[in-house]
Amino acid sequence: MSVAKKEYKRVTVKSLIEMKQNGEKISMLTSYDYSMAKIVDAANVDVILVGDSASNVIAGHETTLPITLDQMIYHASSVVRAAKRALVVVDIPFGSYQSDSKEALRSAIRIMKESGGHAVKVEGGEEIQESVKRILQAGIPVMGHLGLTPQSIYKFGTYTVRAKEEAEAKKLKEDAKMLEELGCFGIVLEKIPAKLAKEVAESVSIPIIGIGAGNGVDGQVLVVHDLLGMTHEFNPRFLRRYMNLYEEMSSAISQYVDDVKSKDFPNEDEQY
């Protein structure tokens, strides 16, 4: 079924709720730098996530835990300079909101003031409720993140599908309801059964954005480097690669090396 798409000059948190009400799916993609964000924004992606996955994709860490607030602000401010249409959501990194709600608010304010981002995202439910409340009270839009929350990877032990057991599924549903009631404008659900994700999406009025959570939710998010096939060693079932940029880039760069070695580059037209 096709849905009439409304044109948005600038996507806001309100537009996302409107999209859910109109049955228009929401597209969300990560970016961490100006050049990539310019392309993503021009392609009309609704939400750009400055994810703490920058820790993996950009910095080469094994987990998202090491990235700092200062580093997130640096990435976010580069993205904000490029985004003319998309809503820019910035992850608050591990260790910058869990200890108490005052610290959470300080971190969120730094992100908003120093990067110019439009909203923040935090991982977790009931256990970070006070932090979410305080950030929202300051007028900062908050997006939740439930299911596989990578900042808790050492608690989970693996990156496998979450909430397959009834008790975890029940807590996830309660957490989603709680985040909605607190005033969050959306929730990311990562790597949970599609049936559960659909049930959550149908039970709340705010948009549910899935990654590895099936098609019954209100929108999808991917890491842009995965979609483009730059991270060729990462192959989860949920990932659809639209390009094999790893191979394309490798072959272009090898060609450049050959051309320099063989003195083919630069030629007469490529010099002054």
Q: Residue 180 carries which side chain, given as an amino acid letter?
A: E
Catalytic residue list contains 190: yes
Asked if 30 is part of the footprint of ligand KIV (rule: CB under 6 A), the reply reads: yes
Q: What track of x and - describes contact with ligand KIV for positions 89 through 128 (by CB under 6 A)?
A: --x-------------------------------------
Q: Applying CB under 6 A, which of residues 221, 227, 228, 230 lies at the interface with ligand KIV?
A: 221
**DSSP one-letter code for 223:** -
Candidate segments 46-54, 65-73, 170-178, 241-249, binder of ligand KIV by CB under 6 A: 46-54
Candidate segments 48-56, 76-84, 108-116, 251-259, binder of ligand KIV by CB under 6 A: 48-56
Catalytic residue, candidates 18, 130, 180, 190 = 190
| DSSP symbols for 144-192 | EEEES-GGGHHHH-S-SPP--SHHHHHHHHHHHHHHHHHT-SEEEEES-
Cα distance between residue 205 and residue 19, in whole Å: 11
CA atoms within 13 A of residue 157's CA, in its CB half-sphere: 0
Return the sign of the alpha-carbon dihedral for residues 41, 45, 47, 51.
negative
Binding residues: 52-53, 91, 121, 123
Q: Please list the active-site residues.
A: 190
Q: Which residues bind ligand KIV (CB under 6 A)?
A: 30, 49, 51-53, 91, 145, 188, 190, 211, 221, 223
